[in-house]
Amino acid sequence: MPKAIRFNQLGGPEVLRIEDLPERRPGPGEVSLKVEAVGLNRAESMFYHGFYMEKVNVPSGLGYEAIGKVIAVGPEVDPALIGKRFGTIPGFSMSQYPVLAEEAVVPANVLAAVPDSFSAVEGAAVWMQYCTAYGALVPFGKVAGGDFVIITAASSSVGLAAIQIVKAQGGISIATTRGSAKKDQLIDLGADHVVVTEEEDLVARVQSITGGKGARIVFDPVGGDYINTLAQATANGGTIFLYGMLSGKPTPFPLAAFGRRIGMFGYTFGELRGTPEWEVMKIYIYDRLTDGSFKPRIARTFPFEQTVEAYTYLESNQQIGKVVITL
């Protein structure tokens, strides 16, 4: 029987267990993957803690972002997919389609190719980060040449993807990090400017960088009271995209936005699903992965048997880039 990560109660990484499960056959519109690697995301951490937007019914599986070969297809799915390697684009139900397992069943419409030159580890570090950043920055934010973009939590995999996308669009990235330990690496990884928020005044630094205009776009997964500081650093008519709630605290509409036409939007890239932009997004990302202008940064890998340690490391905030589990 294939092994899978499961949890029977809410809590931290310590609640995760490896269990043997009966083999599951794909149903209509579904495929079965032999999983090679799984990229870890804050979404899964919030899920097993019970803080995610999807309600948890325990016992439950886990995992959003896998890469593997198709080993079986259900009715209404092209059998030519069998034997081909794909990644999964997150945004489906983890309760219904958990992928942190030796074998996983997923909807066929969440599959996406990665370049043949990519290893399994690299292939598991693509779709969540680049899709999340793409949706906010390209079709919605319309980042263009000369635009200043504040990217908070910039050392995360999504933050690093945002830095690369801003550069591809001709914009200027202003990455933030709490401490100075990650500053030089963020510069090396492409950030145009880095603000260390525990040591520097964000608003003053952004005003200096932008010549007093502020940033046209803010891309933030944290929320909470700091949103007002971000709004003070936002240009008149600018936009704040809030794509996460890592602070765990209520996020007020910022007072600094009043009278300055600043908009704030709660955003997930799932808003693109079912629109023509969905296929445009996949091509945009794939082409830049292929030509090398996009390159996922791998912080650390763990074997499947060390899943608890992997999520403990993810929650420590030590990493710069993606944490990946290999099977």
Q: What is the pLDDT of residues 140-158, one digit of tens each?
A: 999 999 999 999 999 999 9
In a domain, 85, yes or no: yes
State the Rg of the chain over Cα.
Answer: 20
Strands 148-151 and 172-177: parallel
Same domain, 63 and 17: yes
Q: Check pLDDT > 90 for residue 269.
A: no
Mean pLDDT of the chain: 96
In a domain, 52, yes or no: yes
CB within 8 Å of 14: residues ≥ 6 apart? 308
Closest CA to 191 of 217, 154, 143, 140: 154
Check which CATH number belongs to the domain holding 64 and give it: 3.90.180.10
Same domain, 148 and 112: no
252 residue type, one letter: P
Same domain, 116 and 177: no
In a domain, 243, yes or no: yes
Query: What residue numbers bound the domain in which 168 lies?
Result: 129-271
Same domain, 147 and 73: no
Task: Work out the number of other CB atoms within 10 angstroms of the CB of residue 192.
Answer: 17
The mean pLDDT value for 265-288 works out to 94
User: How many domains does the structure of the chain reveal?
Assistant: 2
The mean pLDDT value for 10-31 works out to 96
Q: Are 325 and 303 in contact (CB under 8 A)?
A: yes
Q: Check pLDDT > 90 for residue 53.
A: no
Same domain, 76 and 102: yes
Q: What is the pLDDT of residues 98-115, one digit of tens each?
A: 999 999 999 999 999 999
The mean pLDDT value for 203-219 works out to 98
Same domain, 33 and 114: yes
Same domain, 37 and 109: yes
